[in-house]
Structure 1
Amino acid sequence: MPRTSDRKEHPLSMRLPEADIAMIDRAATLRGRSRTDFVREAAVRAAEDVLMETLPIRMSAAGFEAFVAALSGPPTPVPEMVDLFRRAAPWEPGDPKTGA
């Protein structure tokens, strides 16, 4: 009787235009990865992003109350953010160290 085993890898096949393959190969080469590894990683990352966008956030009733209280309370300034917003951007005129 043939022995059955659980397969840990499953093939995936797709047809892509030559330009897409060339771009994927170039990017994979820049990352030092094979085409298969590069495409697998990109597909899994995209799938994780979609799942994270659609999964509900679960918390206890007490946790939800604390969350709502934090959102409903007065804002608390973060000194580093205040300093950052007071400085001129590097592409704006003025001294980037003082923001003036």
Structure 2
Amino acid sequence: MVRSAERKEHPISMRMPEADIAMIDRAAGLRGRSRTDFVRDAAVRAAEDVLLENRLIRMSPTGFDEFMAVLSGAAAPVPEMVELARRPAPWEPGAAKKR
């Protein structure tokens, strides 16, 4: 008896306005991807974001107190970030000369 292979992919069908499809196709083309790949990637990333936003973090009362102490403490400056913040923005007059 021949067994059929278990299907690992499931189709999803949706109706969308033509303008949305055109925008998706344009963006997918700019990325060099198919519409299916582009939409699948965007949907999976959006789903991951939602799941991460709603993830429950558990910790002991002592761990929570330590966590809050770290958050309440003074931040240490990061020299690279300080230097970057002091640079003139590329659109500011003379910015290219100051580098």
TM-score of the pair, normalised by structure 1:
0.71
CA RMSD after TM alignment: 2.8
SS, match of residue 24 in structure 1: helix
Per-residue CA deviation, residues 25-62 of structure 1 (Å, 9 max, x unaligned), is 22222222221111111111111111111112344555
Runs of 5+ unmatched residues, structure 2: none
State the shift of 1:14 in Å: 0.6
Counterparts of 1:1-100 in structure 2, within 5 Å, are: 6-59=6-59, 63-93=63-93, 96-97=98-99
Distance across 2 between alignment mates of 1:63 and 1:92: 46
Distance across 1 between alignment mates of 2:16 and 2:58: 39
Distance across 2 between alignment mates of 1:93 and 1:25: 38
TM-score of the pair, normalised by structure 2:
0.72
Percent identity reads 72
Runs of 5+ unmatched residues, structure 1: none
**What is the one-letter code of the residue matched to 1:41?**
D
**What is the one-letter code of the residue matched to 1:80?**
E
